[in-house]
Structure 1
């Protein structure tokens, strides 16, 4: 290789080519959507309470009582020390855990680090907020999170009962920081990467960065990120040391001239993330957008290991803006690290001003600076995610909460004359004309810095919602939890304008099915609230077997599929498939949707009914409902046989169309339903009358010539036996069908009949359809000619599957009434 200018030009060209290749490899859209959140913070057990605390300018820090100090074992001499600060920042019951919900015994739960317990519960709630149940999605879901320093293992060892020693392996697995995310992956059945992260105070924002990179690199389709700190499990204060980082009065006065230190507390927060373009495609509830994140370390450019660095912090903020591809002047709020320490706040402000100040001034814009630590203290490994959640809530509510205790700026900041200001009051957050954007900082003790650029979620176009009934399933591990869930849903319905369709969808596919359940059907907000308040719950030991029922001719009505054709894309596509196969024979779509057309011609009714029931079954099966057995009534058995694989869909449609034509060509006749057993009915028959179907133990159908049926009806009236002549054109399942057999036999012999792959009941025998019967042409001819033994079929099913749930797939619900009787 030549030396000098030529070599340098080659190296420069290679460098540019490498950069271009890397850019091409990057996803075009690098935005990440926040689609779910959950958290518990000092003074707030959920995010609604958290926002109220922030909006009202309240502190979650409280004073510890004498009784609590005594219970915590704080010595009298320490309590009486003037430097002892009686302030405590924590959510309620920091060590509590719903052990049985996750399958832990009390002893196992006792060994488990409280941080593991709390984060696991919070991850579950975050997934519910996002509307995802891992067992109902094929998406790979990753977990990126970390905990604070764990002293629980030391406490276990110090307080071990010699007569009941702790299992050492179990104790290590239950307390290692890096295993917390894997515990979540195990219990929630998440198949994506599961990575423990620990960078001190910046842990949860670094976790967010890593989760975003994993999504963009296609390591997973959904990611959970967050952090947890439970450093003081029981209420107690702390000893203030002059010159230390702890606040002398229990208040974190971020950016204020009186700021002398911070207050450490307990907290947990979890975010659910997804690529923005995927979240839009899947119609997820996007709560905010992450435009870009960055992480770095100070290196040695500072006075000591745990000291902050202006250059390090400025560089990570600058990198985040570069990745977000937005100008710093477009950001109108920064959620600062804001520890209120004498060195920390001035360094942080100088770094912000270095990156953002000139551009804000140039564009004549101002930026509000705040810190959630003034409300809840420093949450260590959960500090960053607390700041992100606060910022997202502020965007959703279009308001910037006040920073507590701020009166006058720390003079070392140089806030006066800068484009930054700290607000001590709740203020409206405008978006003129740019969308609301914010930066969130989190700087770790040790120099690992993180910064994220957030943008408000795009407005959703409101759609006029129909009032059609929807199913709203709820479930829980206990009846008490189920009733509480119902109460929570009522509260949500009374305070939210969320579309009922979205709520139903989330409850159906975004919630794990648990043993105690209730299912409600409602078409309006008011109706759903009323039903929830008069709820009935039942315990399900296991999913009951489901039996598919398919009705026969006589159940049809005009326009019977019009609504489903509009509402379900899958159903519509399945009908289109059937229509293509019947093209030139039957105008399927017109017959299914036109309410003006009468469906009376057997040659049309049979293929139309078959297509409707087949499409309904396939739609239900796509929802995860699989039949344990199937029973059809006359024509309905063809649907069951097709689903079972006896014939393919094209073969089934050819057969059903040929069957309908052959039967339509027979002599007209009539049918009558009689309130009597089959034995009682048989004694009444004369002439050519025949039993055509046994529908239930006390309902039998008779077929025959019109004159004989009318004569029988008169006799029944005299005997005061209930009866009804059916609206049919022919005497089906009787001798009058024999002329159709030859033509239908020709159609059958052109089909390759196969062994059934799913269990179904035979109408001919009332017992299970055998492979020999299903593959026999004679069986299907006898099926057309002879009686439908529906009652016997139901008895067979009840004996084999006594706890089954029957699902009728057809235009009506007559078969379910037969089953109930």
Structure 2
């Protein structure tokens, strides 16, 4: 009634009751639908429920404001032409396989795989036994659903598991060290959501940098080098923030975020603690100070060993320290290049794997 501007007829009543003096006021029984014209104010209606058991409730509803119509084209929140996840869940492994079989039977020719991906995330209950089927088209989903239904998920590349907690998704934003030329270039072409976020990041960074974000990401000839710390950190920040925007558009919303090193800036932006503009300013100026004051004076090495073992290796050495504990068997040491070379040599003698992180400061 509020939306369509029509007062509906009162149900199951043909004649007004004789116990009410209808002539003494402005109230009358609605025997047939009546037009409810616009008056310049929101329509309001009362809905009453008086139960036979004694429950009495009355709700007053107000007409919702008209949403402004955007003249911008709608952005499809999926990876156009790329891979998509179908998330399935059930109360048991057998029920999960049965769900895969039922879904497989309903996948017709011409199905909108993006719409199915969204529906599975946004309109289905989530249970502990879960599987994620990743494919680019109907044929790929059919093949992987068949494998999941047969209990052969692992061989088909389907990810299965049992949830150990209901604490929600956590986004973790790392520091630098794993970047490469051309990273995210495919996403720029295949995802309008990701590309739009990168463009907003580029605009926010432009005031504080003497280089352009997009040519660097695409690895274009003449673009500045990712080896510069004052380039790589803002670039990674933009990629991390934009990946979070992309995941949100696909229905993956974090319950919490955490960041390490310059990843803290991306985490703060994604959480809403920092605006995009403030995040861009912070990461650009921070990396500039590092480049001017610290670059060329140190380095970092990741050691595949517990922190206690690594502390033994660096004990008594000058110019090297344990910098980060990334996990039970992942420890980062930082220091001068000479001291790090000694640690790496001792690790090799003891059969410990190391990886030199591509940074020149500590």
TM class by shorter chain equals: 0.5 to 0.7
Are 1:530 and 2:143 matched, yes or no?
Answer: yes
- 2:229 aligned residue: 602
Tell me the distance in 2 between the aligned counterparts of 1:707 and 1:517: 49
- Indicate the SS of the match to 1:582: helix
CA displacement at 1:282 relative to structure 2 = 8.1
- 1:471 aligned residue: 85
- 1:22 aligned residue: none
Tell me the distance in 1 between the aligned counterparts of 2:325 and 2:361: 15
CA-to-aligned-CA distance 1:473-528 (integer Å, 9 cap, x gap)? 235678776544422433344x524354454345444x423536532112344432
Check 1:547–1:475 CA distance in 2 against 1; reply closer, same or farther (3 A cut).
closer
Residue correspondences, number = 274
- Indicate the SS of the match to 2:319: coil
**Whose radius of gyration is greater, 1 or 2?**
1
Are 1:513 and 2:143 matched, yes or no?
Answer: no
- 1:556 aligned residue: 179
CA-to-aligned-CA distance 1:248-275 (integer Å, 9 cap, x gap)? xxxxxxxxxxxxxxxxxxxxxxxxxxxx
Check 1:711–1:283 CA distance in 2 against 1; reply closer, same or farther (3 A cut).
closer
- 1:591 aligned residue: 216
- 2:44 aligned residue: none
Tell me the distance in 2 between the aligned counterparts of 1:640 and 1:283: 24
- 1:223 aligned residue: none
- Calculate the aligned-residue CA RMSD, in Å: 3.7
CA displacement at 1:680 relative to structure 2 = 2.5
- Indicate the SS of the match to 2:227: coil
Check 1:578–1:670 CA distance in 2 against 1; reply closer, same or farther (3 A cut).
same
CA displacement at 1:622 relative to structure 2 = 4.5
Tell me the distance in 2 between the aligned counterparts of 1:652 and 1:629: 18
For 1:398-409, list aligned pairs within 5 A.
none
- 1:634 aligned residue: 261
- 2:354 aligned residue: 723
Tell me the distance in 2 between the aligned counterparts of 1:610 and 1:282: 26
Q: Unpaired runs of 5+ in structure 1?
A: 1-139, 141-175, 178-209, 211-280, 285-464, 733-821
Check 1:653–1:480 CA distance in 2 against 1; reply closer, same or farther (3 A cut).
same
- Among 308, 311, 321, the alignment partner of 1:682 is 311
Tell me the distance in 1 between the aligned counterparts of 2:344 and 2:257: 33
The structure where helix makes up a greater share of residues is: 1
Residues 306 and 330 of structure 2 are in contact (CA less than 8 Å); yes or no, is this contact kept in structure 1? Answer: yes
Tell me the distance in 1 between the aligned counterparts of 2:96 and 2:305: 45
TM-score by length of 2: 0.64
Tell me the distance in 2 between the aligned counterparts of 1:709 and 1:541: 39
CA displacement at 1:700 relative to structure 2 = 1.6
Tell me the distance in 2 between the aligned counterparts of 1:594 and 1:650: 25
Q: Unpaired runs of 5+ in structure 2?
A: 4-10, 13-32, 34-72, 152-159
Tell me the distance in 2 between the aligned counterparts of 1:551 and 1:283: 28
TM-score by length of 1: 0.30
For 1:47-86, list aligned pairs within 5 A.
none
CA displacement at 1:608 relative to structure 2 = 1.0
Are 1:671 and 2:300 matched, yes or no?
Answer: yes
- 1:661 aligned residue: 288
CA-to-aligned-CA distance 1:156-194 (integer Å, 9 cap, x gap)? xxxxxxxxxxxxxxxxxxxx99xxxxxxxxxxxxxxxxx
CA displacement at 1:691 relative to structure 2 = 1.8
- Among 547, 550, 566, the alignment partner of 2:189 is 566
Check 1:548–1:707 CA distance in 2 against 1; reply closer, same or farther (3 A cut).
same
- Indicate the SS of the match to 1:612: helix
- 1:576 aligned residue: 199
Are 1:704 and 2:304 matched, yes or no?
Answer: no
Residues 558 and 595 of structure 1 are in contact (CA less than 8 Å); yes or no, is this contact kept in structure 2? Answer: no
- Indicate the SS of the match to 2:232: helix
Tell me the distance in 1 between the aligned counterparts of 2:291 and 2:96: 54
Check 1:646–1:539 CA distance in 2 against 1; reply closer, same or farther (3 A cut).
closer
Tell me the distance in 1 between the aligned counterparts of 2:259 and 2:334: 19
Are 1:498 and 2:115 matched, yes or no?
Answer: no
Residues 313 and 346 of structure 2 are in contact (CA less than 8 Å); yes or no, is this contact kept in structure 1? Answer: no
CA displacement at 1:640 relative to structure 2 = 1.6
For 1:254-293, list aligned pairs within 5 A.
none
